[in-house]
Amino acid sequence: MRQPSAHPLLEEILRSIPRPYRLPDLPEPAPSSWLRHFQLEAGGDVSSSESSLPSRPWPLDCRPSTAIAIIIEYARRALAAGERPGPDLKQGFVHAMAALICEAAREDSGDPAFRAMVLKHGSPIVREHAALSAQFQDDKRRVLSLVNALAHPAKLQRQPAGLRRDALTQLHAAATASAWSDIATPLERLLAMPECRADAVLTDRLTQLKGEVALRRLQRLESLQTHEEVQQYLSLWEQQGPAANSHAAAREGAAGRRRGMNVETLAKHGLDALAERLNTAHAQAHPYRVVTALHVPASFPARQEGAKTEWDAVLLQQAPGQTASKGAPVWNLCLMVEAKASADAAGTDLARLLRGLRLLAQAHAATVYAFRAREGVIHLNGASLTALPGEMGSLENTVLYCSDDSSDREPRLLSAAARMQLLSAPQSLEVANALQQAKPVDTKVLGFLWEDVLNSEPWQAVLHQYLTLRQARELMVHTSDLLQAASG
């Protein structure tokens, strides 16, 4: 079913809005002379087992991450055309990855998260600490449960004063303070007391606690905390920013939400101006309106996993001759706007947005759906939902990304997620570990990473990330440009 036709003025306005975030075209095909700038001048033959690594800024002021994004995009285009990416692309990728690894591994200006991963990769002690930390909460709950069964304060109040109660109190205090090594002393004292040995139930519980694997893991984790490499690892992670659930993290989160809400407000103002202009030009009285925070009903006839289920701002057109229960108007969905505080965020959001459109398109055309919005319950015509496009190439009259981000700064062509996936690959960590230990560096392993990017399913998002970014930025407008175009 075709989507209800939009007002011609709406399509004209959408075509007139500047697209300042659009990426420039890449030359086709990839020029060999250009690709040579992505190779190390002092690197020698990349096929050699001990390639040198860059010691100076990247040629032509092109960052390694930019080179990687462009090279992978040329490889994707070759694969899409049924061709095998040439050896020059592989060579450029290997050299650019080597440079990116060097850049991220630097002690003074590198990436603390990557440096922490490299340290973990090369240190059995750090790997053990990380593994024990991953199950810390489960182990802690297990041990506290066993201790409370023995020495909960409510139980201790009913016991007579004496050495037994003192030891149980000390046991509970050590567990409550997460002083796992301190549990051993009161535990041994209790097991040695004749009055405890005479109590079979208590002896069984004390013996169970002493042999508890979770307690041994907690004690081992505690002993590893003072190890020099573990201290370095923890210090690197602390440099990532405030810890989760901390006051600083809450403050940063609140600032981010305020910025996001500000962009949403600006986007809504632009849509309001658009609705007003359309209403002025329309013969029918006020058939257009704007709603915000539009939520897809949980009862919607499709799986919502991984799909966008809340839309920041939506332009609606009243469906003529249709009413819902109690005479409420029914609306057609015309234009959806997603507000982004950062232009870079659109690229990571696009896949979820497309899943959200496909979700809506699974509506039943003859059904009217009750959506919840900030402005109240909105009844949407199923026919306007089934006609929503679910693929790129037909979104320009349906979806806009809207941002107040500066449009004159250089775009980040390699997303943060793709960069980290590349850096955290075992091949990258192997190169970085050798580099930090001043061992000969074999960059040939990065050729194996190249093959993974081209052929492995887990790397599909990285292979397509430049295309995704380009498509997302095609849909992005500045808040002021939206308002100006809508106001005429």
pLDDT (tens digit per residue) in 175-216 = 999 999 999 999 989 888 888 788 888 888 889 999 999 999
Which DSSP category does 429 fall into? H
**Start-to-end CA span in the chain (Å):** 32
Q: Averaged over 298-321, what is the pLDDT?
A: 88
pLDDT category, 312, cuts 50, 70, 90? very high
Which range, of 35-44, 349-358, 443-452, averages the lowest pLDDT? Answer: 35-44
- Residues sharing a CB contact under 8 Å with residue 371, sequence separation 6 or more, in sequence order: 294, 295, 296, 297, 377, 378, 379, 380
290 with 177, same domain? no
Structural domain contains residue 334:
yes
Q: Is the pLDDT of residue 238 over 90?
A: no
| Cβ–Cβ under 8 Å, residues 445 and 425 | no
> What per-residue confidence (pLDDT) applies to 38?
57
Q: Averaged over 86-108, what is the pLDDT?
A: 90
Structural domain contains residue 413:
no
Ranges of beta strands (E only) in 386-444 are: 399-403
Structural domain contains residue 249:
no
Q: Is the pLDDT of residue 485 over 50?
A: yes
pLDDT category, 44, cuts 50, 70, 90? very low
Give per-residue pLDDT as tens, 110-132: 899 999 999 899 899 999 999 99
Structural domain contains residue 355:
yes
**Closest Cα to residue 95, out of 37, 30, 39?**
39
Q: In terms of residue numbers, what domain contains 203?
A: 124-238
CA–CA distances in Å: residue 220 to residues 27, 140, 230, 298, 391? 57, 13, 13, 46, 52
Q: Averaged over 423-443, what is the pLDDT?
A: 88
- Residues sharing a CB contact under 8 Å with residue 161, sequence separation 6 or more, in sequence order: none
232 with 288, same domain? no
Check residues 73 and 60 and name the one with the higher pLDDT. 73
Check residues 41 and 308 and name the one with the higher pLDDT. 308
> What per-residue confidence (pLDDT) applies to 74?
92
> What per-residue confidence (pLDDT) applies to 253?
52
382 with 294, same domain? yes
Please state, for a pLDDT cut of 90, what percent of the chain lies above it: 53
Q: What is the C-alpha to C-alpha distance for residues 453 and 422, in angstroms, rounded to an integer?
A: 9
Q: What is the dihedral sign for C-alpha 347, 349, 351, 356?
A: negative
287 with 341, same domain? yes
Q: Where are the alpha helices (DSSP H) in 225-289?
A: 228-238, 247-281
> What per-residue confidence (pLDDT) applies to 317?
93
What number of other Cβ atoms are within 10 A of residue 97's Cβ? 28
221 with 156, same domain? yes
> What per-residue confidence (pLDDT) applies to 1?
38
Q: Is the pLDDT of residue 271 over 50?
A: yes
| Cβ–Cβ under 8 Å, residues 292 and 317 | no
Domain boundary among 372, 403, 434: 403
| Cβ–Cβ under 8 Å, residues 40 and 52 | yes
Structural domain contains residue 252:
no
- Number of domains within the chain: 2
What number of other Cβ atoms are within 10 A of residue 10's Cβ? 22
| Cβ–Cβ under 8 Å, residues 473 and 411 | yes
Structural domain contains residue 397:
yes
- Residues sharing a CB contact under 8 Å with residue 265, sequence separation 6 or more, in sequence order: none
pTM for this entry = 0.78
390 with 285, same domain? yes
Q: What is the C-alpha to C-alpha distance for residues 53 and 209, in angstroms, rounded to an integer?
A: 53
